[in-house]
Structure 1
């Protein structure tokens, strides 16, 4: 065995020496490749116990979404985009994640987020109930409730937080604290349902019992009765007449409705912050009074970090998903960049030695990247042809066989379908694809062309990427089932 090892080392050494003698050895691509190899050779796995766990979920941000976010961010800094490295892409550990649900090839956010928070895959449209529970059937809740990672961390003396740019009662943040037979029971359950309460009530209960210590996002209307003004100036949506905001405040929970209020909170009481009646604003439209995802991340880490036992924090960029559902790729990219900014901040504010950071998505969308585009083609615009000289694209647009240009980013289905409903109810495209200019394609409100008409573009079942760093992050490797994320988190915080 020793002789074999020596032979392998000698061969590796000879190969390295030979590589330096190649004619391409002076190329920047070559030297960068050698540097990347050396960096990997120098890595040592972190096998310490994780004090903190931060789970980043960009909702709907699969591999294709991540690609367009990368190009967008790089091009905003004046580069080509494709060689740009997002903060999470610099993390040393990577895996591909299979996202299907127990009964769905194409997943829903509720059971995918639930899988990450419980360690088992779940059924479509349910949150944190076992495989014998049935969607929309309250009678199947009892006996099928799953134990949550947040509950385990709270029992271990750690603090817990959930922050999102969606409603706090929406599927992904709700997976931190809720158990429900229908993800849409945000402020109401069926009249004959006694096995569970609505999701908003479950959040307030989690804050009161200490399972959750800080929750920030949107969705105030689900905490206020119909006919009653919300703290954001809208009207409540709850049909039961219960004012959960007042209930929370009477139980010592700090309630805030804007960035100034968030900045003024103290670290001695639980915090519930909601800036909007429904989802928080897209980053492209966010007013200064509303905190960004990075603002919420800073506050949450500052607040949770005071616990010497550590914390668990789930951070969701929920509106990446919503922009993709609207086939509005540009807003999805801008929210994707805001997500990466939050990742970079969390990395800066924590220590790799004791904090496991995981960056992933719950699912992908029905996105397609068109070709053949030259380098530097605006990711939010039309596809320019590859140039024969230099590295920048030519000034010629790539045309389809119909003689019309097309955008780099496309969707298989959605509101931008070229198929238009006719008077007889049939869908056809009598004029073919609409003409489009570069200015139109790059407008913030532009919706990408698609084929199949749908009022809301769908998810897809394609794998998503996972990036990780910190204690036991090296356990993320290869292609894994989504529920494995829970098991690595649990092992990291309990490892001896």
Structure 2
């Protein structure tokens, strides 16, 4: 009897459903995931996109801003690169710091070796600012290795061509500041080191870049030409190369004969290129997408394929200023360049990777409803969501930087927060916002992209690119 009662009581908790449940709905997202098949073909082309400083919070906030800019719901909007089939996380620490700078950040990806902060293209035995140790500790970059194997190579950036990230394709220095001969210490010159601009131009033919588009015109021209150099005009050296072209503005870029051009140097600003917020795709400054399209067109003429490094540098530049509007607008600019690359290449033989060299201390705080501007005050359906002191607060803030305000500052207004020149608030006052050390996202498609899942070392990206390109 007791066992019967026990069974009856248990049956109360295990009642069979009256009818069978419907099968799981095959949504487009689920169908896409189920259809994924690893591509193990050899990669003819490799395109590495770097969103400088583009941590996960930058992707999320950038996605929302991109959607809102287009008049749609920002939270559910999806950037093009977010639709790539494989995603993972990359650990960005350097050989000596929890939080990397861009120099080690890119070097780990392009050489497979982590080094000390500020060093480029050298191993961890190098000593900062020490020429001799850097000459001994040189390590080849992925661009140099693949060029030696017959591929065409190039870099595209909204920064100067000698800035840390683009230099990661060709440079070897113990400190990233050695960008022109005017910035190279006398003792380094005496020890046999040369600046990054010379390294790019004077590289042996077997490893020299075929395309370089970005800024830093002043570091390639002499002081007599309005530049920084004390030795000679490096653009004259480039013009001596077979099939070479040197351009300096958007119109000249659009006029490049991509089939006839073998080597292309574009210097579109004396330093970094201005934000697209400021030039709006007009005037003499090309967009990242426009530079990427021309670079791919030129490099694609090589029968053995190509390697291209594309950097959206303005994400990082404006995060350092706590200017979220310009930084996040450049996330969208990077996405446009990725879309162009996907349109111009074949997914079956082109490995495309989008990642960051490091993150930034941008935070996305609760409070606002989804219909409120991401860049504005924290608001719920038009009403402010104040802080504990009853003062207006922001949805986007920074951990460090120049946006910190002294006590007693006037309350923020929506008009102020939505200004393109507004500096988001920062917790710790600093002249420049500091990088953040959390892992950064990796998005990938094409040959062996399936290897870039889970949490990996930043150096693993180099290993995957080498393996995909050299697979026999």
Query: TM-score when scaled to structure 1?
Result: 0.87
Q: What residue in structure 2 maps to residue 355 of structure 1?
A: 350
* Equivalent residue number for residue 251 of structure 2: 260
Cα distance in 2 for residues equivalent to 1:206 and 1:257: 22
> Which deviates the most, 206-215 or 404-413?
206-215
In structure 1, the residue matched to 2:192 is 195
Deviations 1:5-43 (A, max 9, x none): xxxxxxxxxxxx96527xxx8xxxxx5x74422321221
Task: Kindly indicate whether the alpha-carbon contact (under 8 Å) linking 2:321 and 2:401 is maintained by their aligned counterparts in 1.
Answer: yes
* Distance in structure 2 (CA, Å) of the matches to 1:214 and 1:206: 13
Per the alignment, residue 123 of structure 2 pairs with 130
**1:58 touches 1:316 (CA, 8 Å); kept in 2?**
yes
Report the count of equivalent residues. Answer: 446
**In the alignment, what sits opposite 2:14?**
none
1:246 correspondence with 2:236: yes
- Matched-pair contact (CA < 8 Å) for 2:106–2:168: yes
Corresponding residue for residue 111 of structure 2: 118
2:186 alignment partner, SS class: coil
What is the aligned counterpart of 1:487 among 457, 463, 466? 463
Show the 5 A alignment for 1:366-381: 366-381=361-376
The answer on whether the counterparts of 2:200 and 2:208 sit within 8 Å (CA) in structure 1 is no
Matched, 1:213 2:210: yes
CA distance in 1 between partners of 2:20 and 2:149 (Å):
54
On the 8 A contact 2:90/2:456 being kept in 1, the answer is yes
| C-alpha RMSD of the superposition | 1.7
Alignment partner of 1:300: what SS? helix
Report the TM-score when normalising by structure 2: 0.91
Structure 1, unaligned runs of 5 or more: 1-16, 26-30, 230-234, 386-393, 420-428
Equivalents in 2 of 1:221, 1:290: separation in Å?
16
**Once the 2 structures are TM-superposed, how far is the Cα of residue 291 of structure 1 from its aligned partner?**
1.0
1:335 to 318, 330, 336: 330
User: What is the distance in 2 between the residues matched to 1:19 and 1:314?
Assistant: 50
Per-residue deviation, 1:80: 1.9
Distance in 1, Cα, partners of 2:135 & 2:99: 27
- Could you say which residue in structure 2 is the equivalent of 1:299? 294
CA contact (8 A) 2:148 2:206 kept: no
SS in structure 1 of the partner of residue 465 of structure 2: helix
1:6-405 superposed matches below 5 A: 20=22, 31=25, 34-188=27-181, 189-193=184-188, 194-206=191-203, 211-226=208-223, 228-229=224-225, 235-238=226-229, 240-252=230-242, 253-266=244-257, 267-286=260-279, 287-385=282-380, 394-405=381-392
CA contact (8 A) 1:95 1:480 kept: yes
Deviates more, 1:258-267 or 1:40-49: 258-267
In the TM superposition, residue 268 of structure 1 has moved relative to its aligned partner by: 3.3
Q: Distance in 1 between matches of 2:354 and 2:150?
A: 24
Once the two structures are overlaid, the 10-residue window that deviates more, 410-419 or 340-349, is 410-419
Shift of 1:209: 5.3
Superposition deviation, residue 438 in structure 1: 1.1
Counterpart position of 1:6: none
Quick one: structure 1 residues 154 and 381, their matched pair in 2 at CA, closer, same or farther if it must change by over 3 Å? same
Q: Deviation per CA, 1:98-138, whole angstroms, max 9, x where unpaired? A: 11101011110011101111111111000011111011111
Determine if contact 2:99/2:437 at 8 Å carries over to the other structure. Answer: yes
Secondary structure of the 1:211 match is: coil
* 1:446 matches 2:446: no
Is the 2:143–2:207 contact (alpha carbons within 8 Å) kept by the matching residues of 1? no
The SS at the match of 2:297 is: helix
Q: Distance in 2 between matches of 1:289 and 1:206?
A: 29
Indicate the residue corresponding to 2:11 in structure 1.
Answer: none
